[in-house]
Amino acid sequence: MSYSIIEDGHIATPSGYRATGVACGLKGAGKTRDLALLYSQRACKAAAMFTASQTRAAPVFFNQAILARNRESVRAVLINAGQANAGTGQPGLADAVECAKLTADELEVPRDSVLLMSTGIIGVPLPMPRLRDGIRRAASELDSGGGHRAAMAIMTTDTRPKERTYRVGLRDGRSVTLAGMAKGTRMIHPRLATLLCLITTDLAIDARLLVRSLQQSAARSFCRLNIDGDTSPNDTILLLANGATEGAPIVDASSREYGAWQEALDALTADLAQQVVRDAAASGKIVQVQVRGAPNEGSAREVAEAISRSSAVRRAVA
């Protein structure tokens, strides 16, 4: 095993990241954190996966447009909880654009270097006056120890934050840091549903390999979850790599360094996915479906998904 857990680590533990979570009234009155901000001091390569739902929220459309032209210089991610900004039409997309613009201006970074995530009630407009104030405060409160605040801010029906951080030993003697946070307890279905996950690393890696590694890890973890069979318009998994650790970038998928990285990323996403399931099943049961004798992985996945969706099976194990 080429990785080890960093106790009390968080999304801003890798070198060059800062984060925070603030309360700005998006989830009602009180002091509950509901707006998270992550910032990288260096430009990040980005890989992302989005919901399989045919109905997609404004932040998903926005991120897809940004990443179509800018996958190698992302600087920040803004995440709000309370309103999904889904089913909000053109005004919702305009609000998403404004949120990214305000964040970029506060951080003094290019406007196409900010990505967005939203989670919460569908069909409700974003409370922009509160968000404007929250973005300003979040930008002023960023620090390298603020990751736990960010993980708490993205929670909705979650009962606990979901975080994990690893130190990854590469075969050339270097070590890098890998961290993730996630939210989700309901509307979870294979190929993503109500799930948000943000992963950071200070590794230097080729952009195409970053995408490849995320697709493999997500396919073996998040994309195999099924809690209630419902899908969501917001789900996003985002992986950022800022290359802050000195050393040559990983450019060869057959290298030992890439193998060590993939092993750690597989473990991180599996850990976070299990945290999502445990939170959702706090008062129920967790069932793992294993398929043997299938001719290939695709066939095995189809069988497992059919079993996990079956209402008869769910009643039998309830």
Segments making up each domain of the chain, as ranges: 3-284, 287-318
Which pLDDT score, from 0 to 100, does residue 304 have?
63
Find, among 38, 48, 82, the residue nearest to 181 by Cα: 38
> Element (H or E) spanning 277, and its range?
helix 256-280
Which pLDDT score, from 0 to 100, does residue 189 have?
44
3-class DSSP assignment, residue 66 = helix
- Is pLDDT at 191 greater than 90 in this prediction? no
Cα(96)–Cα(92) distance, rounded to whole angstroms? 6
Look up 236 and say whether it is catalytic: no
Question: Could you give phi then psi for residue 188, rounded to 5 degrees?
Answer: -110, 130
Which pLDDT score, from 0 to 100, does residue 29 have?
72
Which pLDDT score, from 0 to 100, does residue 63 have?
98
Instruction: Report which of residues 311 and 170 the model is more confident about.
Output: 170
3-class DSSP assignment, residue 47 = strand
**Marked catalytic residue, from 194, 200, 236, 245:** 194
Q: What secondary structure letter does DSSP report for 57?
A: -
Find, among 163, 164, 140, the residue nearest to 152 by Cα: 163
Cα(196)–Cα(181) distance, rounded to whole angstroms? 8
- Is pLDDT at 213 greater than 50 in this prediction? yes
Superfamily of domain 3-284: L-amino peptidase D-ALA esterase/amidase (3.60.70.12)
Q: What is the pLDDT of residues 112-145, one digit of tens each?
A: 999 999 998 899 999 999 999 999 999 999 999 9
Which pLDDT score, from 0 to 100, does residue 294 have?
81
Cα(263)–Cα(48) distance, rounded to whole angstroms? 19
